Structure 1
Amino acid sequence: MTQLVLHNYDLDDACYRVRLVASCCDLPVELRNVDMFPGMEQVSPPYLKLNPLGRLPILETADVTLRHTGAILLYLAGLDPQKRLLPTEASALAQMMDWLFFAEHDLSVSTEARAISIMDLPGDGPQTIAQTRALLRIMEDHMSAQEIKGLSFFAGEEITLADIALFPAFALSRDCNIDHDAFPALRLWARRVRATPGFVVMPGIPDYH
């Protein structure tokens, strides 16, 4: 098995996505914890050599260093002999990729909103929270439509990388005082994600009843 080294900060939702995929795919990962806050170690000269963008997560292997969350998730899922998070049907794969891009790009504002709310970082808190709530509404509407079709996850009947990538933004949105009662379809979906073999939590992930 390829040695996997994850440069990690436990409270970072992107790092959590990587840890969660690795756990669900039963892949051993060596964690090297980074003082991201308040130390900003990720922008120190040694880390800028690994990732000139100055952010986490970073995944190192003997052959490649990856610095974008979506690429890391796809790489890990591809290492899984069972390919349990990768659909085989073309349309489901396309839907998975579409939501994966949504998670990494559009939903990045949710990370900003949370950082402003709980770490008191500078930024427009009300605006980023409003944007996050609007994006969660898009997700809610999609999962409501999926349930009508008898489908349990974002790209179909089975869980995929898309669900893992989307889960933290919703699960952690209470840190921004977003009421989960307004998103019943996402609450049910989140329960199904939590029931996935290998699921692990991070600080701030609430229980669902």
Structure 2
Amino acid sequence: MILYDYVLSPSCYKVRLLASLLVAGIDLRPVDFHPGAEHHSPEFRALNPAGTIPVLKDAELVLTESGAILTYLAAVNAHEWLGHDDPEMQARVANWLAFSQRLTASAGAARLHDMLGFSGDIDALRVQATDALRELEAAIHARRRRGGIFLAADRPTIADIACFPYAALAPDGGVSLDSYPSIRLWMRAIRALPGFIEMPGIHRLHEQMPEPGPMPDVVRKESA
């Protein structure tokens, strides 16, 4: 399998991340997305007429959407990551794959605006990203109340991998994660998975500041 990849692309990263978690071998073919705009070259357009990344090529199969690539990698290497235990879980995974596109179109677009100078109504993009993050926060909070942390099941699935990068990198587009404790705890759970790999802006778990816990009794007494 060959992944046409750009190291700063969250959509490419989610494929690299899943491949690492599944210990699935993929060969990386770097694409000069910025500033070279290689994805608009005739050679790349022959591979993917839409001119987007990532692209996964496996023999004669060419996949150009990150959700489809995640689904294919899981189907080939570890079927349980698809969440197909029952129809309800399967539907939840599909729903989160669709939701991840909203994160890409809002938080992702805001990040492209701020980091690479892409055009866009940055105020509107940040509002849309905030709306999506609030929805994600509410869903994870509800999962936590039932004793879980992952989006679609009691274990991680491709739903979590699809949503993780653009949520984690939302601050790059001017959208803070300070108001979303459940999202931060969910991101820590993903970072703790065996085989987790990082990308620029997304670090390993041990490099994160710990989440604040309850105030110790001794501090409360001293403050009284």
Please confirm whether the aligned pair reaches a TM-score higher than 0.5, indicating the same fold. yes
In structure 1, the partner of 2:220 is none
The corresponding residue for 1:83 is 79
Residue 46 of structure 1 aligns with an amino acid whose one-letter code is E
Name the CA distance, whole Å, in 2 between partners of 1:106 and 1:167. 10
Q: Is the 8 A contact 1:25 1:84 kept in 2?
A: no
Check if 1:176 corresponds to 2:173.
Answer: yes
Q: What is residue 40 of structure 2 aligned with on the other side?
A: 43
Structure 1 runs not aligned, ≥5 long:
none
The answer to whether 1:190 aligns with 2:187 is yes
Aligned CA distance change for structure 1 residues 83 and 197 (closer, same or farther; 3 Å): farther
The one-letter code sitting in structure 2 at the alignment partner of 1:30 is: D
**Aligned partners of 2:103 and 2:163 also within 8 Å:** no
- Structure-2-length-normalised TM-score: 0.88
Q: Percent identity?
A: 37
Partner Cα distance (2:22, 2:148) in 1 = 22
Aligned equivalent of 2:109, options 106, 112, 129:
112
Q: How many residues align?
A: 205
> TM-score, normalized by length of structure 1?
0.94
Give the whole-Å Cα distance in 1 for the aligned partners of 2:15 and 2:81: 13
Q: In structure 1, what is the equivalent of residue 11 of structure 2? A: 14
CA distance in 2, matches of 1:69, 1:180: 24
Which runs of structure 1 show a deviation greater than 6 angstroms over 4 or more consecutive aligned residues? none
**Structure 2 matches for 1:1-209, cutoff 5 A?**
4-80=1-77, 82-87=78-83, 88-105=85-102, 107-206=104-203, 207-208=207-208, 209=210
Aligned counterparts of 1:162 and 1:108: Cα–Cα separation in 2: 17
Shift of 1:104: 2.6
Higher Rg of the two aligned structures:
2
Q: Tell me, which stretches of 5 or more residues in structure 2 are unaligned?
A: 211-224
